[in-house]
Amino acid sequence: MHSSTLFSFGARYPNITCRVSPPVSPPVASLSLPSSSPDSLACSLQCPHFQSCSGCTHELNLQRPAVVDEASGFFKRYGVEDFTFDSCRLWGWRCRAKLAVRGTSDNALIGLYQEGTHSVVDIPECKAHHPNINAAIELLREGIKVFDVVPFDEDQGTGDLRYVQMAVTTHSTSLRAPERYKNGKVQVSLVWNSRNEKSHNADKLQALSSFLWRKGGPNCKFHLIHSVWANFQTSTNNIIFGNRWRHLLGERDFWEHVGGIDISLDPSSFGQANTRAFDSLLWKLHKYVPGGSSVADLYAGAGVIGLSLATSRKCRQEHILFISVMHLRRLCIYVDTDEKIDPNFKLYLDFSSVKCIEVNKEARLSFEKTIQRLPNSLNCSITWHHADASVVSTNPLSWIIGTDVVVVDPPRRGLDASLRQILESVPSIEKRMKSSSQSTRSNAKEEKRPWILRARELSVQAGNKLTPEENNTLPQRLIYISCGWESFKEDCKSLLSSRAWELEKAHGFNFFPGTDSIEVLAVFKRRVVMKKKKKSGVKKVGLKKVRAK
């Protein structure tokens, strides 16, 4: 029943990768399309649900949404002439979907709300979904009918199944790399309308989950289902998930491979919907973080960005920090040897560190699982802290002191005002800190700030346990990853107008083909302020020189 859906990936979703640079006219891309496709439709959505479903807003030119030209012009005005845009995969790109379940058990509607309403549009042939999500939806629809599972009724607050989350893991080391994406397995999370697994409709939940595993599990011709989870939610608001989760069947741990590392994601964890585009962004990000840097990863989630950076530092030989023996004394490092030392001898020292700061404490478990797969030889201090780096009461400054690079990946609304103000005030803060550095060193005090102490209690440490010596340096580079173009423009203009930062590089990524949106990777560097020359004390009056009194 499902084999045609599962194995038609190459035919229905041609793999197109367009790398678009600044020119306004679309480039000629190398596209692996059927020869019969007209050029005008080469990058069109061709989805039967377009206009009825609220997911996609643009049907044509998926490879270059209109916002790309606006972004190119915006960055050019601020000195970035070489803005690039990576389009990545245009169909079958969505590896994570949250869908409402409405209708009846005989005719379940599984999809998204129609724009501006709470009427669900059924989307069985969604072109954005990874094909195996569509296959899992059809299997779920069959199970709903067989076991008379009642879809949720918002008006009455009744029914069994409210929502479903489908997440595809495309990381299977048992398959050759080219086959992994096509054969991704689906983690199914059923949002059940009850308080727990002992409620009156628990037998239906058990029957439905067993059906999914029996029809799509490892004993089937094609292994479709990775695992089945239940989330219990009875709230009357629009929040999809409740606080209670239960693993029912299949593998407990869900792994993905992005940015050079294996990452663990629980069903409750935030995960990027477009896995391949996110992977491209991370590899681009690596080149802008110098080796041996101390990095603060704010809005870190499960620490994917920070951990990817930490691992990349070990892999790149050009980023190894070398310090000659003749400079070791300045660093207060003692070299224990009686032999004559060649002054050109180099000693490898890596003082790099990564701090991940995240407000959602649930992300800690994913971080702890992920670090277990990091290389044992990783010579980097890595810590994860449960704290809100944007709240004034927690003093955002405390998280960026002692770092060379700050990476921010805020939600769509952009940077929180308190954090943006701190970043804009870095030069003046640095000046004050330098003037008081001597007294600070001579009067070191025990840490008593409650927000720091709480974060330390809930922190997790990995890698080299010998953390770099704390210092009062402030970041010289800011890397901003944005999913909200309008908020990014405001933040960018504010950062530049503060004269603390200047824009160095910018790249765009097509995380959501079919929409007029853009994911931005922007690199800022500290603005160099030229010191004014002191007056010589001699004034010129006509042709005569008169010494100033």
The set of catalytic residues is: 483
Say if residue 288 carries a ligand binding annotation.
Answer: no
**Residue 506: how many CB atoms within 10 A of its CB?**
24
Q: How many helices (H) and strands (E) does the chain have?
A: 15, 23
Q: Is 268 helix (H, G, I), strand (E, B) or coil?
A: coil
CB 511 within 8 A of CB 273: yes
Ordered DSSP codes for 38-79: -GGGTT----TTBTTBSS----S-TTS-THHHHHHHHHHHTT
Residue 366 tokens, joined? 């994913």
CB 479 within 8 A of CB 405: yes
Residue 276 tokens, joined? 């391949």
Say if residue 299 carries a ligand binding annotation.
Answer: yes
CB 223 within 8 A of CB 217: yes
Q: Which amino acid is at 54?
A: S
Distance, in Å, from the CA atom of 214 to the CA atom of 352, rounded to the nearest integer, reads 48
**Residue 448: how many CB atoms within 10 A of its CB?**
7
Q: Is 375 helix (H, G, I), strand (E, B) or coil?
A: coil
- Report the length, in residues, of the chain: 549
Q: Which of the 8 DSSP states describes residue 129?
A: B
Given CA atoms 392, 397, 398, 404 in this order, what sign does their dihedral have? Answer: positive
Helix residue ranges per DSSP H, 153-201: 177-180
The H or E element that residue 531 is part of is none
Rounded-to-10 torsion of CA 139, 143, 145, 151? -90
- Alpha carbon 238 to its chain centroid, in Å, reads 24
Q: Which amino acid is at 464?
A: N
Say if residue 272 carries a ligand binding annotation.
Answer: yes
Distance, in Å, from the CA atom of 136 to the CA atom of 8, rounded to the nearest integer, reads 15
Helix residue ranges per DSSP H, 196-334: 202-216, 275-286, 304-315
Rounded to a whole number of angstroms, the distance between the first and last alpha carbons of the chain is: 98
The binding site comprises 272, 299, 358, 409
Residues tagged in the binding site annotation for S-adenosyl-L-methionine: 272, 299, 358, 409
